[in-house]
């Protein structure tokens, strides 16, 4: 599975703790992240993380492009709902793309806990089926 990890500044520590706690699950998947978040997760866990630009510099849009190309399976985005973000339109566009392309999106620790356990239990077989069918039709 291809998983994006994103966190606003005030949520970076939380996503690092999350990645550290679930390193054994995340290590079995292909990880992507916006700039600083990816760097900090990689440094804290040793996980391989493909990094995009930081969110305000286009990272959200780069992940959105992967979603639109059907090259992303899950987005874990620890948002800070109490702080105005200068790139809010990019964040909204990313979330809209998740809805359009049926990509699971969680925006807080509680949702991420449920999603990571679903991933561990194999509840994402439907994403693999979509990919298999897509490959057959190409």
Residue 60: active-site member:
yes
Instruction: State the total domains in the chain.
Output: 1
C-beta of residue 76 within 8 angstroms of C-beta of residue 19: no
Banded model confidence at residue 52, pLDDT cuts 50, 70, 90: very high
Instruction: Identify the CATH number of the domain in which residue 83 sits.
Output: 3.40.50.1380
Statement: residue 56 has pLDDT above 90: no
Catalytic residue among 60, 73, 80, 90: 60
* Domain limits for position 103: 2-137
Predicted TM-score (pTM) of the model is 0.91
Statement: residue 133 has pLDDT above 80: no
User: 72 by DSSP, 3-state: which?
Assistant: coil
In this prediction, residues 52-72 reach a mean pLDDT of: 94
DSSP E strands in the chain: the ranges are 2-7, 30-33, 49-51, 74-78, 105-106
Banded model confidence at residue 126, pLDDT cuts 50, 70, 90: confident
Statement: residue 134 has pLDDT above 90: no
Comparing 25-34, 55-64, 118-127, the range with the smallest average pLDDT is 118-127
Distances (CA, A) of 101 to 35, 98, 108, 129: 24, 5, 20, 15
């Amino acid at each position: 599975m291809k998983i994006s990890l994103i966190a606003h500044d005030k949520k970076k520590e939380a996503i690092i703790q999350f990645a550290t706690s679930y390193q054994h699950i995340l290590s079995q998947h292909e990880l992507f992240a916006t700039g600083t978040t990816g760097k900090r997760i990689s440094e804290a866990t040793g996980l391989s993380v493909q990094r995009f630009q930081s969110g305000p510099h286009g990272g959200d849009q780069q992940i959105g492009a992967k979603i639109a190309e059907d090259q992303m399976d899950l987005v874990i985005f620890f948002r800070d709902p109490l702080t105005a973000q200068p790139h809010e339109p990019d964040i909204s566009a990313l979330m809209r793309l998740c809805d359009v392309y049926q990509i699971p999106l969680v925006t807080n620790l509680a949702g991420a806990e449920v999603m990571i356990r679903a991933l561990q239990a194999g509840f994402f077989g439907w994403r693999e089926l979509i990919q298999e069918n897509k490959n057959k039709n190409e």
